[in-house]
Structure 1
Amino acid sequence: GTDATGKSIYLQDIWPTREEVQQTEEERVTPSMFKALKEKMEMGNKRWNSLEAPDSVLFPWDLKSTYIRCPSFFDKLTKEPGALQPIENAHVLLFLGDAVTTDHISPAGSIARSSAAAKYLTNRGLTPREFNSYGARRGNDAVMTRGTFANIKLFNKFLGKPAPKTIHFPSGQTLDVFEAAELYQKEGVPLIILAGKKYGSGNSRDWAAKGPYLLGVKAVLAESYEKIHKDHLIGIGIAPLQFLPGENADSLGLTGRETYSLAFPEELSPGVTLTMKTSTGKVFSVIASFDNDVEVALYKHGGLLNFVARKFS
């Protein structure tokens, strides 16, 4: 900038000295200021204090709410974890490539009018103007499950083009990912996802693991993972499987239309090699991509939520 006479002014000309800063702190920053601020925080504000809080030990879920819903993560929780169950005759929900991001998996943006989440909200009396975003409705598992893989930029090799859809086998129907997963669940069919390198890259997003879990995904088989997302998969009870170095779906001749079966050893250990069998007769090895014994323990519990629930029960 310049002064009134046109002379150039630089930051060094207006920057206060250390002595000036210290003098201002001594005059203005006092213990009473922090005490007063703490008292105001504890008192809250008028709008906060006017909210009515139910006098109950447990939260009374509002069954009509489309924002906060009792999630289904604990519906099948048992007091003790059982033996690890094999994955038998699983279909591939999605056949994905490299660099699938958490936003591809669980978008946080607006809810498209033609999406499965939009249909759910419409059936509950909401108009498109009231849909809001997936990020705003992350407290509703029904919306977030329907929003899983609902990104229009998701490239599914089954379709050969970007679309939030997949193919149901063996019917051959092209459906929204949620609708296909729902049909598989009705048929009692477990699901896996095939992917390439850097699966789950991008921002840390817990629903990118919780959503696939609620769709019925038992395992992801990828060339490599983003570390935080892999932690989230383990934390929700999805097995992170990895191709052997130098191998991938293409090199093994996998189409994604076959079914997959895999058994876990009773003494599962980090990085152990497992045998994957397909309905076409192809057999190949995969790595159980657990990095340590803690991750194995969490997976045996069905994830972190189950582990914590059992610990405090």
Structure 2
Amino acid sequence: MLGQMLEKVYGITAGEYMRIESYDAFRGNGFYYIVANSRGKEEEEAAELQKIAAHLTAYGDRNVPAILPTKSGSIIADWEGGKYCLLALGPPARQGQMRLGRKLAKFHERGRMVPFQVEKTARIGQWKNMWETRLDQMERVWSERIFQPASDEFERIFIESFPYFVGLSENAIQYLVDTELDEDAEMIDGGTVCHERFSEGSWGRQYVLKNPMDWVFDHRSRDLAEWARGRFFHNSRTCGPEIAQFFSDYRSIAPLSKFSWRLLYARLLFPLHYLETIETYYSSNRESIQKALEDRLIAILKQTSDYEQFTASFFATAGSPFASALPKPEWQANR
């Protein structure tokens, strides 16, 4: 089916079918053609990401694929009700003993050099408005449900837990505002190529593949915070040494300013993990997905105290040279 898409939409003869990481792929003409979901990107966003990918490749990143246009010149292909992008890469590199902190820092340094104004995928400086909008939308959902019986267990847990996470969100937004007022941004704080949600597996487990459809243009602290959040929820008991090593490796390539550390911290404080679980539950109609999200919500609530402790000690854990000089929210001051 996807082989037909390559031939009809792209004019490429599909070769041997294979799977590369979680992607459908075809080998032929000396390339690996990787079929990627467009992730809801509009045509203009995808075109901008195509230019960013070409820039990173030109600056020496061999694991960034090219985004190929269709025969009609568009970046996003419509095929049997789905929207796709076609990525082309030489033989993908196998994951080795990769020091991910160093690799991410080098990726960010290349991303800083994008030689044109990024507009459609830019998120830098927009966190406050985006967080407030997200919180307002969820507050409306919560308000609609609070005065009627919960329809299921997930909804009951959501109704009971939401006020606590509103408090965390408001603290994070205030910390972000204070950061932007108190600290001067430095050269290192310019926008760069980041990911929607960077994690340990974002670039693959077996092969290295950096999918441009995962990218946004933002402050580097976005990726650092989301990686650290992910490691906490992967294993809250053992993530400390891993986080220390990662940040040490990262800072050996790109030292972080006080502004960077505080922006990173604001993002860790903002409970995206909770909000996304609620949003995904109410936007899904598959029972198996909803059950998994219910389990995830229960796990998040069980770890609220651990997560508070994680954020309270984060600067020290990550080895920030400014640890003693960086402020924390009032509720953390005595932890």
Using structure 1 for the length normalisation, give the TM-score: 0.26
Using structure 2 for the length normalisation, give the TM-score: 0.24
Report the structure number with the largest CA radius of gyration: 1
Higher helix share goes to which structure?
2
